[in-house]
Chains A and B, each alone.
Chain A
Amino acid sequence: MNTAETVLPHLDQGFIDEAEKIISQYPVSKRSASLPLLHLWQKHFGYVSREGVEWIAQKLELEPIAVEEIATFYPMIRLRPLGKYQFKVCRTLSCALAGSYQLFDYIKQNCNALQEVGHHVYLSEDGQFSVEFVECLAACGNAPVMMINEEEWMDVTKEKIQEILAQLRKK
């Protein structure tokens, strides 16, 4: 029934090898590789599609629901595409004390990310930027803290945001 491997254009050998390597790290139970494979899928495709869930399930000999229920549990796993550059601003106490709510608004305005696509998640019209709140990033001594995709930024200021945006817009 499942032809995901042939349907997906970018599922090259490199990807499959990497998936196998990950699975080999769980000699006791392949199921343990579910979240790692979701991470892998997301790294390659930006988000986890239905095909992703099915492919992983097949690979691990699980029912798709077993993969889906974890894909929907963990906030970092995305089930739909978001901005090319995803700003994730920490909203928890130490960052809030350092002005992260104001920073959030500032980034939103400057990225033109005004379309609310989820709770505390905003997307720009051109799909370049999304801005969202996340919980404590474990760098509270350098508040306010944020991430852009998987990269961490600390002691963030409005000036720094301007520099970053100028850089990203050049790309």
Chain B
Amino acid sequence: MPFKPEYRLILKYVDSPGYTVDIDCYLRHGGYQVLKKALSLDPSFIVQEVKKSGLRGRGGAGFPTGVKWGFINHEKNTKPVYLLCNADESEPGTFKDRQIIYKDPHQLIEGMIISAYANRAHLGYIYIRGEFAKGAEILEKALSEARERNFLGKNILGSGYDLEIYVFRGAGAYICGEETGLIESLEGKRAYPRIKPPYFPAVLGLYMCPTIVNNVETLCHVKHIVDMGGEAFAQIGTPNNTGTRIWCVSGDVNKPGYYEYPCGAITFGELLYDVCGGIRNGNKLKAVIPGGSSAKVLRADKKYKIPKKKSDGTTEMVEVGLEDIPLDFDTVAATGSMSGSGGIIVMDDTRDMVECLRNIAEFYAHESCGQCTPCREGSLWMKKILDRICRGKGRKEDSQLLLDIANHIAGRTICAFGEACSWPVQSFVEMFEEEFTAKVKEEPPPMEILEPAVRTVS
């Protein structure tokens, strides 16, 4: 069956034969030409172009990048400004930034230099997850190549603009992906997130100075915006959902991987069946987590109300199945979930949803930074209750108890981790209530299969 070809803007050269990470290869493919263009423009003009482009953050929250950049008032500000690249890629199911870092590091660096210039930053750091040891090495090397060619350092290409960028490695803590946790970590402390407001990085960030934190993919997009112009970029995708996105598919499909499409150009059905070759072993689709493991799970046999544009320009709400939901920010949000970091995790009909949730709950129980009582205690309680249900020791009231705990975490914590650990619980229990009820009634399974594996039910 023919399917929609990918539109690779960010991943244009990634995986193409002969393309390597060294700067000569990048230069042969037109690298650093956009930087030259950018340096001839006024920084505030670039901010305007990014605003016009409609670019939304690719780290998960989808906040408009131009608006965020606009929070720094350069007329009044007397402090240094810092630019941080969030390369923590910590949300389970997400592996897009890895492709850029490992296969096209100079694209990120060029995007970052342009973004730093636009925000008048003279110092920047790439905060990379500790496990990407090789990625950190690749970036270090790429940065020194860029320095040698004077794309970095003093008086870049004779423009009078100075910038240094360094790599900072995390060390295995998920919470370092949260931007204020990231900043604390970079300051040499435990990654305890700060309360927003007042600590929005753009106001009080690194060393209490205005700081822009952007995701790897976001910063790469900036390069293309400056290249083609904000308006042209805004033509890609749909209104308010501009540009391309890299969707990462994992779990029970035949061809897991990363696929880049304009926002809204492809539906779940097209992505999972046409692009990813369908559900593995000829099984049936049961559920999809659409935006990293913290996003609310969507059930395959349920209907969702989404807004649809009519030919006369107005929108109406229509009811569609999971397969017909187009992948962008707003439509996925309309289903009650989110497209988050773009990590799509697929589960087929042989999977035990209680075990899946237990696996997710274990992640969040392990990763809570421990500052807020509801999050620290609640995430562990939820895991323990799920453990006992899976061990055959569940109680009738457990589903309700899980919901009660989750409802008491979300909205009551310093950072959005509180939501991140509650949403899976709320959605799994609500969407698959029958499985939780059945498990509670079930006879305790024999000892050998008590290991917390996500068992295949068949």
Contacts from A to B (Cβ < 8 Å):
25-29, 31-36, 38-39, 60, 66, 69-70, 73-77, 91-94, 96-97, 101-102, 105, 134-143, 147, 150-152
A93–B172 touching, CB < 8 Å: no
Residues of A close to B123: CB separation below 8 A = 27-28
Residues of B close to A143: CB separation below 8 A = 250, 256
A74–B173 touching, CB < 8 Å: yes
A135–B130 touching, CB < 8 Å: no
In Å, the complex CA distance between A23 and B268 comes to 47
Shortest distance from the beta carbon of B180 to any chain A beta carbon, whole Å: 15
Residues of A close to B98: CB separation below 8 A = 138-139
Residues of A close to B251: CB separation below 8 A = 93-94, 97, 140
B172–A34 touching, CB < 8 Å: no
Question: Nearest chain-B residue to A67 (Cβ)?
Answer: B188
A93–B359 touching, CB < 8 Å: yes
19 sample A-B contacts, Cβ–Cβ < 8 Å, listed by A number: A35-B168, A36-B169, A74-B173, A76-B171, A92-B92, A92-B363, A93-B92, A93-B345, A97-B351, A105-B451, A135-B367, A136-B90, A136-B92, A138-B132, A139-B95, A141-B250, A141-B256, A147-B131, A151-B134
A77–B92 touching, CB < 8 Å: no
Shortest distance from the beta carbon of B174 to any chain A beta carbon, whole Å: 7
Residues of B close to A147: CB separation below 8 A = 131
Shortest distance from the beta carbon of B82 to any chain A beta carbon, whole Å: 9
B430-455, CB < 8 A from A:
451-454
Residues of B close to A151: CB separation below 8 A = 133-134
Q: Which of A31, A69, A73, A96 contacts B187 (CB 8 A)?
A: A31
A32–B171 touching, CB < 8 Å: no
Residues of A close to B367: CB separation below 8 A = 135
In Å, the complex CA distance between A13 and B343 comes to 45
Shortest distance from the beta carbon of B102 to any chain A beta carbon, whole Å: 10
Residues of B close to A139: CB separation below 8 A = 95, 98
A135–B453 touching, CB < 8 Å: no
Is residue B384 contacting chain A, with contact meaning CB distance below 8 A? no
Contacts beyond the supplied A138-B131, A140-B345: 6 A-B pairs with Cβ under 8 Å: A25-B166, A29-B207, A32-B168, A35-B169, A73-B191, A138-B89
Question: Nearest chain-B residue to A136 (Cβ)?
Answer: B92
Residues of A close to B249: CB separation below 8 A = 141
Residues of A close to B248: CB separation below 8 A = 140-141
In Å, the complex CA distance between A39 and B97 comes to 22
Shortest distance from the beta carbon of B80 to any chain A beta carbon, whole Å: 8
Q: Which of B130, B187, B258 contacts A29 (CB 8 A)?
A: B187
Is residue B300 contacting chain A, with contact meaning CB distance below 8 A? no
Known contacts A36-B168, A75-B172, A92-B293, A97 near B256 by CB under 8 Å: no
